[in-house]
Every structure is written in structure tokens, then in C-alpha cells.
Structure 1
Amino acid sequence: MTAETGGNGRSSSAGNAVEKALRVLEAVSTPGAPHRLAEIAATAGVPKPSAHRILGTFADRGFVHSHGGGRYAPGPRLRAMAAQVAGDDDRGVEQVLTELQRQVGHTVHLALRAGDRAVYTHKVEADQPFRTSSRIGMWLPLHSTAIGKCVLAHLGAGEVDDVLGGAGLAPRTPATITERDRLDTELSEVRQRGYAVDDEENEASIRCVAAPLLDASGRPVGGVSVSGVAFLVTREQIESFAPEVRHAAQSLTTLLL
């Protein structure tokens, strides 16, 4: 991730104070904290002096904790806010995801968009000896994952340009779509059918099908997916779960938005 051309899906016109502050807070919250000031500034796409001022304000108010030596991590107020947001509603989310896992027999994920990536917020593991490497809090690229393609498919063309301009189309496996024309065709198909497929494009031996979570205006906020080990589930089988995944996405939208 680089500075102004880097992550978190910001547009060329982005730059107001509130958006900068939110990007800094998001950067502090990425896995591996505490993070150094230079790393936070680069991830947020904010100049170091501005990032330092913003972090100082957040630290004074308990949203960020300063570890000294220019390193910062989420503070107690931010952690308390996260717990409040999860709260009672999280039980309903877990019920929907658990029921989906019971129906399909494979691992279920919920991920929410965070700029030019998404982050897993929930996972219900399949009762199988073969486990996926994903974990809650893990970041995932948009161009190579089923959930990510659901997000990209429902962004405006200019927004997709901004996201991919920063994140790129890095090959994750030999099957990753790395040509923009091919990806645009894929995203058009995702919009038409209402779900996306990752056929070993992000992780070798893993197939996924996902449906988007859309707000009232039709903007994507994330997605829900079913993932299976490739030697246990064919492409046709993983796609056959699309109706159940789309139904779960509708239920989750009611709970989360």
C-alpha cells in the first residue's frame, strides 16, 4: 500500500478532514498493531504531519493508544465502540451464518468492505478435517475473491478505477484474473446473476460463492460467502449454493443496515 495512490479505495477528490481522520483510524485498526506513524500515513494516504496531528487527537480522546516511538494501536474507546456495534445484533448475524453453514455443509464467511479491501468479521467453520486458512480480522483483496467481486460489481466505473488503481490486479494464484477487460466482463456477469464465484483465484484449492450486501441505495458494504476445498466441491457444486447464499445476504442486510 502506498500513499495517495495507495489503499482503502479513496477517490482523487477525497481529502476533507473527516475522511482523512477516518482513513487514519481505519489504518490504525489493521492487524498487526501497534503500527508506526509512517506505515499508518502510507496506508491511509495522508501526509505524515497530518496523520500525526490526527493520531494525537484520537489518542487524547482514547480512540488510539500511543505505544511510544511513533507506534499506535486501537485505544479503549475504539474497542468499546466495536463491542457496542457487535452487541445484541451479532447474535442474529451468527444465527443466519450458522444456518447457512448447516444448509451447505461448508465454511461460511461474512466480510465488510474497508476501502480497496474487505475484512472478515465472522466465520463459521465447516465440520470437516480440511480447514480454510481464513480468520476473523483477515484482509482480503477485492479482485480475486468472490466477496470482493460482489463489491466491485456494484461500484460505479470511476470508483472501480480508483480501487484498482491503488490496489492493482496482483496475481494471487495462476487462476487470478489480472486483465482489466476480463475482470469487467466478470463483474458484469456478477451483476446479472446476483452472485460471484472465486474458482481458486485467491487461494489455490479453495472455491467460493458469494452474494453482496447492499444498502438501501444499492451501494455494496460487503458480502457473505460459502467456501469449500476444491477436491471436495466442484465449481458446479459451489455455484449450486448461490440461492442459499443470496437468501442469507438478504437476511443479513436487514440485521446490519
Structure 2
Amino acid sequence: MAENNEIKVKSLQKALEILNLFTEKPVLGVTEVSEYLGIYKSTVHNILSTLKAMEYLEQDEETGKYRLGIQVFNLSKALGDTYSITKIAGPYMQELSNHTGERCYLAVPYRQEVLYLDAMYPADSIELMRSILGERAQMHCTGLGKAMLANMGEREISDYLEHHELEAFTENSITDKEKFKEELVRTKQRGYAIDDMEHEFGIKCIAMPVFDRTKNVYAAISISGLAQHFTDENIAEWAILLKKYIRKIESRL
């Protein structure tokens, strides 16, 4: 368990630690939670029962195991609503997705990670659409992360590199810190970031930062899809289009 002098209510800490476990494993039973956290089964049972009564968890009648409930979704939606950019950017992202035929993602920097807020799919897409709100990814291997980091200050970039090992997700991931610095320079000069199958093999994207009225990085938007769709011609065309829509969004922030 994490020790923090600001934690005053230990029982609440236990409840939230239990709830956090469901971000790592979607279905859990009393025994599993007890073993993971080293908490008595009776305590775990009481906490799970309370979270179930408050609709933060649901219980499978056959197995007796628990999964996240509707109130967690409501909290996630409320989180998204606190970022006014989601409402502003949504219609523009949908237009961009329809025009390019690719998915569009919106994210903000959060604790030196990429925090996804929204995703738009082409109107004629047959893909199964899913909520991406609250998902996180590392900055160094995503277009969104590189777009945001490249436009931050030198101190923020140095701090990121000091505290992060550049993990390899594919053979294209940049894991050398000097090479990554060079990539950030190229990204800023070019005006957009490219994820060249660095996070997921077969998927490419281009991304640009969204600046607030003080010219600080506020968010980023990407166009993402199958690598074969990202020809030099398409990338050049989509970068112009992405910049056009981002300027519209920035004017309303």
C-alpha cells in the first residue's frame, strides 16, 4: 500500500485501492482481492458489498465475482465533461474522421502520460466503436504524446527523459534518449508528430498539439489508422487538414 501523509481515512484508502485493482483485472473475487492487497477477507467482503450497493461494482450471480458498475462510467463521463475541449472538438473531429476515413483521437497530458478523452470514427465505419475515455499511454511511442512533448519547454522534456525509460512496444519504438530528443526536434520543426508503428504494429498516425490562449500545450489530436493508408501524399494532405481544424478548436477555447 502506498504511504502518504495526506491520507487521513485509512478505510477509504482501502476501498479505493480495491476499486483501482479493477483497472488491472476486470473481474475479481473476494479471495483474489484479499491476496493482492493483503487485506482480511471479511474486510474485503464488506468493502465490495458496499461498493456494489453504491453501484460502483456489479456482482455476477453465478460466480460471485465482481466487475465495475455504472457509477464508474458516470464518473468517467463527468471527468470528460470537465475538459471543455471535448465538447468543442467533438464535431470538428467527426468531420475530420469522415473526410479522411480514419479514426481521430483527442488526448491531454496527464502526469507525463497521454490521457485519452475522446475518439471519433468515420460515419460509414463498420468498426466496433468503444469509449477510450480515461485510457492512458506513454508519450514517447505515440503521436499524441510526441506532439505534446515536442512543444513543451526544455525543462519538461528533460524531466520526462530523466524519469522514464523508453520502453519498446514494437521494433519501431524509439528507445535511445538522444535519438528521441532528435525526434522531438524534427516533430516541432515539421509541425506534427508521426507514430510510425511505434506503439502498435500496423498502425500509424499523425498528431498535432492544441494550444491554449497562453500558447501552452493543452491537448493534442491525431489521425490514426492502418499503416498502408499513410502514404506521403495522404500525410501531407491530412496534416494541412488537421491544422485547419485545430485552429478552429483553439479559437473557441
Q: Which residue is 2:12 aligned to?
A: none
Hey, what's the Cα distance between the residues in 2 that align with 1:183 and 1:130? 36
What percent identity do the matched residue pairs reach? 25
TM-score (norm 1): 0.64
Look up the equivalent residue of 2:151 and give its one-letter code: H
Match of 2:93 in 1: 97
| Structural RMSD (CA) | 4.4
Give matches, 1:236-255, under 5 Å: 236-255=233-252
Number of residue equivalences: 214
1:79-127 alpha-carbon deviations (Å, 9 max, x no partner): 685365367x744422111111122111111111112111111111236
Correspondence for 2:218: 221
- TM-superposed CA distance for 1:252, in Å, is 2.2
Assess if the C-alpha contact under 8 Å between 2:161 and 2:177 holds in 1. Answer: no
2:104 aligned residue (91, 108, 123): 108
Query: Which is higher, the Rg of structure 1 or of structure 2?
Result: 2
Corresponding residue number in structure 2 for 1:43:
none
Provide closer, same or farther for how the CA distance between residues 144 and 98 of structure 1 changes in structure 2, counting only shifts above 3 A: same
Out of 193, 196, 214, the residue aligned to residue 196 of structure 1 is 193
**Contact conserved, 1:207 with 1:238, CA < 8 A, in 2?**
no
Decide which of 114, 119, 124 is 2:120's aligned counterpart: 124
In the superposition, the TM-score normalised over structure 2's length comes to 0.65
Task: Show the counterpart of 1:42.
Answer: none
Deviation above 4 Å: which 4+ runs of structure 1? Answer: 30-33, 73-81, 127-135
Cα gap change, 1:159/1:90 in structure 2, threshold over 3 Å: closer, same or farther?
A: closer
Q: Against the structure 1 CA distance between its residues 135 and 179, is the aligned structure 2 distance closer, same or farther, given a 3 Å change threshold?
A: farther
Give the conservation status (yes or no) of the 8 Å contact 2:104–2:119: yes
SS in 2 for 1:231: helix
Q: C-alpha separation between the residues in 2 aligned to 1:222 and 1:151?
A: 7
Which consecutive unaligned segments of at least 5 residues does structure 1 have?
4-16, 18-23, 40-64, 66-72
Matched residue, 1:55: none
SS at match of 2:195: strand
Partner of 2:231: 234
Query: Structure 2: any 5+ residue segments left out of the alignment?
Result: 7-15, 27-32, 37-55, 57-68
